[in-house]
Structure 1
Amino acid sequence: MTFQFDSTVDGKAIKIASMIDEHTRQSLLNIVERSMTAQRLTDELDQTFTLWGGPPLVLRMDNGPEFISHVLQQFCRDRVGISYIPPGTPWNNGHIESFNNRLQKECLNRNHWTSLLEARVVIEDFKDDHNHRHRHSSLGYLTPSWGPSRLRGRTLPTAPTLTNPWVARSTDINHTVALEHGGPTIGDLPRDSE
């Protein structure tokens, strides 16, 4: 779980709370507000836990003010574990950092919000698209909403293996890119992001 910040065209701040399930890669929390209290965060977490069948074993987050608050500590006591990543080590929370990077590049950087409502609608659409249309190599190129939680007892499809070193899979599973001799090697190609 983490926060991201943006602003509307009038310069007023927007605070975005996101939470990713590390196993399914689903975006489970969507709060877009001007400011957010710890009580508002715990209310939304309670609704999210109810919607998704209960709390996770552990919430991983940085040690921001909302996350170290007494309100959140009380909410999580005897319900869910808390794991704070050390300051300055975003790689310890890599799944949400990867998601935030996509949210920043593909949504926040491309929009100039005229109102908080506009930001809420577009960011919610982005998170819905992430859950239902964005394929992840770590999920066997399934979408988060179709990923491991729906397979129940079946094995996850594996990514295709390369038989020809000059052919590589692009991020679109149905599109194959053939590289000419003397072109970049497989190691030079950009890696899929999660």
Structure 2
Amino acid sequence: WSYDLVSTWTHEGRVVRLLTLIDEHSRECLAILTARRIGAQEVIEQLAEVMVSRGIPEHIRSDNGPEFTAKVLRGWLQRIGAKTLYIEPGSPWENGYCESFNGTLRDELLNGEIFYSLKEARIAMDSTEGTVAPSLT
């Protein structure tokens, strides 16, 4: 698996954060968490929810953002037996499947939508779960 964060904004300029979780083998989007703020605890909760139905992955690849390098998240992943693979700083191509999905998400959905609320953004993101990168359509 791999995961990353994407930011977009509502029409009044409030941030909307998206945690995208991708299966590197199938390229399927396993989940998109949509919230104003996403920290390590929210990442753990989303991963746990997906792991209930998909099992525990061998590894999870990410960049070095504070949400992904937090001690609480690293400790939790270690306890459940999932390895963390951190890409080199400034090397997004090392997380290629997730970056490709996020680029397509931005090109095909985010850049063409004006969200008036967090709820509206959540509804739009729910429609992309289960899709396969690189195309959402």
Matches within 5 A, 1:51-70: 51-52=53-54, 54-70=55-71
> Could you say which structure has the higher helix fraction?
2
Q: What is the match of residue 73 of structure 1?
A: 74
2:107 aligned to which of 102, 105, 109 = 105
Say whether the 8 Å CA contact 2:87–2:94 is kept in structure 1: yes
> Could you say which structure has the higher strand fraction?
2
**Higher alpha-carbon Rg:** 1
Say whether the 8 Å CA contact 2:5–2:20 is kept in structure 1: yes
Q: What is the match of residue 39 of structure 1?
A: 41
Normalising by structure 1, what TM-score?
0.65
Say whether the 8 Å CA contact 1:58–1:81 is kept in structure 2: yes
The two structures, once aligned, show a CA RMSD in angstroms of: 1.8
2:9 aligned to which of 7, 10, 17 = 7
2:95 aligned to which of 84, 93, 113 = 93
Summarize deviations over 1:84-109 as a string: whole Å, max 9, x none: 00011011111111100100000000
Normalising by structure 2, what TM-score?
0.91
Q: Percent identity?
A: 33
Q: Which runs of 5+ in 2 are unaligned?
A: none
Q: Which runs of 4+ in 1 moved over 6 A?
A: none
Aligned length: 133
Distance 1:135 1:111, change over 3 A: closer
